[in-house]
Structure 1
Amino acid sequence: MLDAELLKKELAPHGQEHLVRFWGELSEAEREQLCADVRAVDVAEVVEYFRRTQETSRTDQQKLDDRMKPIPPHIHGSAVRSGPREIAAYEAEGLLQVSRGKVGVLLMAGGQGTRLGVTYPKGMYDVGLPSHKTLYQLQAERILRLEELAYSRTGRRGSVAWYIMTSEATMEPTLRFFEQHAYFGLDRRNVVVFEQGLLPCFTFDGKIILDGKNRLSKAPDGNGGLYRALREEKVLDDMERRGIEYLHAHAVDNILVKVADPVFIGYCIKKGADCGAKVVEKTNPTEAVGVVCEVDGRFQVVEYSEITPMTAERCNNDGRLTFSAGSICNHFFTRQFLRHVADRHERKLRLHVAKKKIPYVDASGHRVVPDKPNGIKMEKFVFDVFPFSERFVTWEVDRTEEFSPVKNADSTGKDCPATARNDLFALHRRYLELAGGMVTETEEDFVCEISPLVSYAGENLEGSVADAKLRSPIVIWAEGEVPASNGTVNGTAGYINEIHAYA
């Protein structure tokens, strides 16, 4: 027999006894659901989280200018400023670890494409390439090509385990999508899909919001929920069983991401890092991105709103911004570091607050959809583990080669499918030109797509395009890849068969 008074007694010390106020109106099944919902939450912990958010909000109002220092040069590597031999050494180390099966990928894919105007997971989004490949497919094929590259360089065949963190809303659609597409040629045993946690939503005065008379309002705990999920979903245990030592973590929406980038991984390993961040140079002082820097002797990401314009505009003698390392949600971790964070530091992660319009049940039991923010969602950010690192490094890359997120609808004109598509076309055009291809057309309206199964980062093209005169649109795919009836491309890894160009 369910006991409302007992549940109320458990909630009262934390000021949350209002959660059972509709008990008398609920059926037995609804009471069971409410009890399960409440007991799935550590109420004492989440109430403490709310208290901490209030402290954090007050602290965030204090500017950090006087406590900030730029990243020391000896741990701030750069793909742009490093020589070919240095880059080759890092790449060789990364490919060696891939061939030994020591590398895994952590993909943060909990978001739906709401801002893109779709209701399905963002990884399933078709950005409008000639092949119609989705973000998931592009990244899966980069993993396949990387495994082949590692094999060709070392003579040893290893696999890259792909860990995909979804949310409650994206878990089932993602699983179905991968099954429908036969995991895009990957061994399904190496694709591990798991779910991040949820946190209750609160009113501004600290009360957990009821989404219905018998259920709590909850929201995903942010990409920083990764660390708890790795522990609770036994993902770290899986990594240990596989012998994985190094992880590349990134967001799903970057169309240019170099998945399990061997250069980045090799750099971090050779530096002895336990944690690393890939960064891009800020375009200007007011660009709305966080910067990686040192604060009070530890490394962290400082949001652009947390510093004054004067600090943001500071420049070095060479004219570059002093605080130029823009954060792009692209990180390296050792497995040991992840275990250390998950077991010892996860509860200490900083909490971030988003004021939202959150549907709620009013005192009379009616569900209300507010027209202005009425509560908060709490979330953790993946980069907030940087201060726990003992051997932190950064690696700066050219954003035109590695960063173009798909976040907004095309109507915004920024970080949208159109800009991502054009950035990919421009990058692939440069690959062709570096391989000796001759392209005479202007970049405006230029279309050029190279299958990731053909080339991971511009390699493997010389034999097919050197001295060739190329006209847009250009599509290059691997042997076995053919357009499917729905316009998508499905295929397996192989070498370049021929150049196919179609409108």
Structure 2
Amino acid sequence: MSQSIIDAFTRAGQGHVFAFFPELGPDAQQKLLAEAAEIDLAEVERLNRTLVRTDGAAPVVSLEHLAPAPYEALPEHGGDPVAWAAARREGEAALRAGRVAAFTVAGGQGTRLGYDGPKGTFPVTPVKQKPLFQVFAEKLRAAGERYGRPLHWFIMTSHQNHAATEAFFTEHRHFGLDAARVHFFRQGRMPAVDLDGKILLEGKSTIAMSPDGHGGSMRALERSGALDVMASEGIDTLSYFQVDNPLVHCIDPTFIGWHRQRGSEMSSKMVPKAYPEEKLGHFCVQDGRLVVIEYSDLPMSLQRETDPATGQLRFVAGSIAIHVIDREFARRMARPASGSDGELPFHRANKKIATIDAAGQPVKPEKPNGVKFELFVFDALPFARDPLVIETRRADDFSPVKNAEGVDSPESCRNDQLRQWARWLKAAGTPVATDESGLPKVVFEISPLFADDEQAFVAAWSKLSPRPAVVDGLYLGPAE
């Protein structure tokens, strides 16, 4: 077995990966062989041919025949309230039937936040400092109780954080969820190559491997057996969200209902861009297909273009990485038929990659010396049947934690949570003092187990007697 792997790498012109093999101990040899076995050499050669052995530039994104994508507007922005209500009923029926599962992409670390650990373990709530995973777990518990069917939760980790993530859930007793319904699996990896297409070694017994991007979630679902688990449980609809967004309505019956009513294979939420330069991808239509054009690929002249009739940005629909995905569509994207065009494209990223030289000495490059390959989940949209985009309220669905400070930081997310809860109190007839942005002057917290949306909060608040004063440190939720 080991010799066959070595021979395959030699035939592919990648034999240097085993240059130090004879001097390694048995454990190190097995580690290197295991990493090598993950690699599809034919795929690497194809990517070298199409993305690496070129002029060194990333492929130019075509902007021909590009138009803004249509979307279902919220009722307050002109959408049909009857259609939105019907969608909610459809989604609620699917939830009561147990046909929906949550799917979280959680392979990242908290490095950019100055935090040592899986990003999902990062504390985000204002009073209790609950970690991201707990926020989502409580939202799933609330949805399960409301619809009478506990939900399955599929969590894609990375090789880097898989063990720590599982240990965190075990330590916290899965935050009250049934452990049998929480499924962990690792994201796939791709080798990094140098600018000539040679696979890079990180050490004598370690290949320079990196996660294959959030688009790799499709392949990981299939390879891990997660899709088969879903099929056996009668689950055909996945609610996809990323681990850094605690505001996300992770089980949204209206979104699920729109998706199912339209017979869509992949649906997406959008928010209107706040300003032209906002760093969101753009939902567009190109040659009859729904696509997402990254902000870095759309010329600023188009990003700033406005509709003469409304004055609104023309390319206004911003992508926020919230999707509903049909189970069998994910399977088809994970293993496309031979010769079909339904295969997610890899993207090239030039990076500074720590490696070793021919003598086995460490090399820390000062400029990009290699290429990493990654897949983007939104690249599946052009291959989906009847893909759908619906509008969502930014204030109720999108406040990611990405940066240590400033925009999309723990502070901005904390404030957005407080603004949301202040709006709920106002809707329930109990306004609190806020500044002009809606930020309350007291710090409090509402658990999803007390209420996970405005409608549920109004109902739960009305049942309290007496109602607590909204003061610093108020926590509405089960005793902990």
Q: Scaled by the length of structure 2, what TM-score is found?
A: 0.91
In structure 2, distance between residues paired with 1:111 and 1:57? 31
Query: What's the CA shift for 1:258?
Result: 0.5
Q: How does 1:49-448 map to 2 (within 5 A)?
A: 49-54=47-52, 62=60, 64-72=62-70, 76-78=72-74, 80-81=76-77, 82=79, 84-150=81-147, 157-316=148-307, 317-344=309-336, 348-410=343-405, 413-442=406-435, 443=439, 445-448=441-444
| Cα displacement string for residues 277-323 of structure 1 (whole angstroms, at most 9, x for unaligned residues) | 11111112221211111112211110112222222122222111121
In structure 2, distance between residues paired with 1:56 and 1:264? 42
Identify if the C-alpha distance between structure 1 residues 384 and 361 changes in structure 2 by more than 3 Å, giving closer, same or farther.
Answer: same
In structure 2, distance between residues paired with 1:79 and 1:427? 19
In structure 2, distance between residues paired with 1:117 and 1:418? 14
Identify if the C-alpha distance between structure 1 residues 8 and 181 changes in structure 2 by more than 3 Å, giving closer, same or farther.
Answer: closer
| Cα displacement string for residues 118-177 of structure 1 (whole angstroms, at most 9, x for unaligned residues) | 121111110252011111111111111112222xxxxxx212111001111111111111
The answer to whether the Cα contact below 8 Å between 2:342 and 2:383 also exists between their aligned partners in 1 is no
In structure 1, distance between residues paired with 2:420 and 2:7? 61
The answer to whether the Cα contact below 8 Å between 2:72 and 2:389 also exists between their aligned partners in 1 is yes
- AA at the equivalent of 1:290: G
Q: How many residues align?
A: 469
The answer to whether the Cα contact below 8 Å between 1:436 and 1:462 also exists between their aligned partners in 2 is no
- AA at the equivalent of 2:126: L
In structure 2, distance between residues paired with 1:393 and 1:119? 38
- AA at the equivalent of 2:93: L
**Structure 1 stretches lacking a partner, 5+ long:** 151-156, 483-489, 491-503
Q: Which moved more, 1:166-175 or 1:432-441?
A: 432-441
| Cα displacement string for residues 327-352 of structure 1 (whole angstroms, at most 9, x for unaligned residues) | 11100111121222222169821112
- AA at the equivalent of 2:256: I
Identify if the C-alpha distance between structure 1 residues 441 and 76 changes in structure 2 by more than 3 Å, giving closer, same or farther.
Answer: closer
Identify if the C-alpha distance between structure 1 residues 272 and 78 changes in structure 2 by more than 3 Å, giving closer, same or farther.
Answer: farther
Query: What's the CA shift for 1:62?
Result: 3.6
The answer to whether the Cα contact below 8 Å between 1:448 and 1:475 also exists between their aligned partners in 2 is yes
Query: What's the CA shift for 1:101?
Result: 0.5
**Residue matched to 2:462:** 463
In structure 2, distance between residues paired with 1:2 and 1:438? 68
Query: What's the CA shift for 1:365?
Result: 1.1
Question: Of 25, 28, 31, which residue of structure 2 is paired with 1:30?
Answer: 28
The answer to whether the Cα contact below 8 Å between 2:194 and 2:369 also exists between their aligned partners in 1 is yes
In structure 1, distance between residues paired with 2:53 and 2:82? 49
Equivalent residue of 1:66, what SS? coil
Identify if the C-alpha distance between structure 1 residues 398 and 55 changes in structure 2 by more than 3 Å, giving closer, same or farther.
Answer: farther
In structure 1, distance between residues paired with 2:49 and 2:363? 26
Query: What's the CA shift for 1:405?
Result: 0.3
In structure 2, distance between residues paired with 1:423 and 1:466? 28
Query: What's the CA shift for 1:57?
Result: 8.8
The answer to whether the Cα contact below 8 Å between 2:153 and 2:183 also exists between their aligned partners in 1 is yes
Q: Which moved more, 1:341-350 or 1:134-143?
A: 341-350
The answer to whether the Cα contact below 8 Å between 1:63 and 1:308 also exists between their aligned partners in 2 is no
| Cα displacement string for residues 80-115 of structure 1 (whole angstroms, at most 9, x for unaligned residues) | 433554433222221221111111111000101110
Equivalent residue of 2:290, what SS? strand
The answer to whether the Cα contact below 8 Å between 1:451 and 1:476 also exists between their aligned partners in 2 is yes
**Residue matched to 1:39:** 37
In structure 2, distance between residues paired with 1:427 and 1:421? 10
In structure 2, distance between residues paired with 1:409 and 1:65? 34
Query: What's the CA shift for 1:378?
Result: 1.1
In structure 2, distance between residues paired with 1:254 and 1:455? 18
- AA at the equivalent of 1:67: H
- AA at the equivalent of 1:407: K
The answer to whether the Cα contact below 8 Å between 1:254 and 1:403 also exists between their aligned partners in 2 is yes
The answer to whether the Cα contact below 8 Å between 1:60 and 1:306 also exists between their aligned partners in 2 is no
In structure 2, distance between residues paired with 1:7 and 1:270? 48
Identify if the C-alpha distance between structure 1 residues 322 and 404 changes in structure 2 by more than 3 Å, giving closer, same or farther.
Answer: same
- AA at the equivalent of 1:416: S
Identify if the C-alpha distance between structure 1 residues 465 and 68 changes in structure 2 by more than 3 Å, giving closer, same or farther.
Answer: farther
Q: CA RMSD in A?
A: 2.5
In structure 2, distance between residues paired with 1:263 and 1:7? 50
Identity %: 36
**Structure 2 stretches lacking a partner, 5+ long:** none
Query: What's the CA shift for 1:368?
Result: 2.5
In structure 2, distance between residues paired with 1:237 and 1:15? 36
In structure 1, distance between residues paired with 2:53 and 2:14? 20
Identify if the C-alpha distance between structure 1 residues 57 and 176 changes in structure 2 by more than 3 Å, giving closer, same or farther.
Answer: farther
**Residue matched to 1:48:** 46
In structure 2, distance between residues paired with 1:79 and 1:247? 25
In structure 1, distance between residues paired with 2:167 and 2:278? 38
- AA at the equivalent of 1:341: M
The answer to whether the Cα contact below 8 Å between 1:291 and 1:324 also exists between their aligned partners in 2 is yes
Identify if the C-alpha distance between structure 1 residues 31 and 340 changes in structure 2 by more than 3 Å, giving closer, same or farther.
Answer: closer
Identify if the C-alpha distance between structure 1 residues 318 and 181 changes in structure 2 by more than 3 Å, giving closer, same or farther.
Answer: same
Q: Which moved more, 1:20-29 or 1:422-431?
A: 20-29
Question: Of 18, 21, 36, which residue of structure 2 is paired with 1:20?
Answer: 18
In structure 1, distance between residues paired with 2:10 and 2:120? 42
- AA at the equivalent of 2:257: G
Identify if the C-alpha distance between structure 1 residues 353 and 426 changes in structure 2 by more than 3 Å, giving closer, same or farther.
Answer: same
Q: Scaled by the length of structure 1, what TM-score is found?
A: 0.87
Identify if the C-alpha distance between structure 1 residues 43 and 463 changes in structure 2 by more than 3 Å, giving closer, same or farther.
Answer: same
Identify if the C-alpha distance between structure 1 residues 80 and 229 changes in structure 2 by more than 3 Å, giving closer, same or farther.
Answer: farther
- AA at the equivalent of 2:472: P
Query: What's the CA shift for 1:18?
Result: 1.6
The answer to whether the Cα contact below 8 Å between 2:267 and 2:324 also exists between their aligned partners in 1 is yes
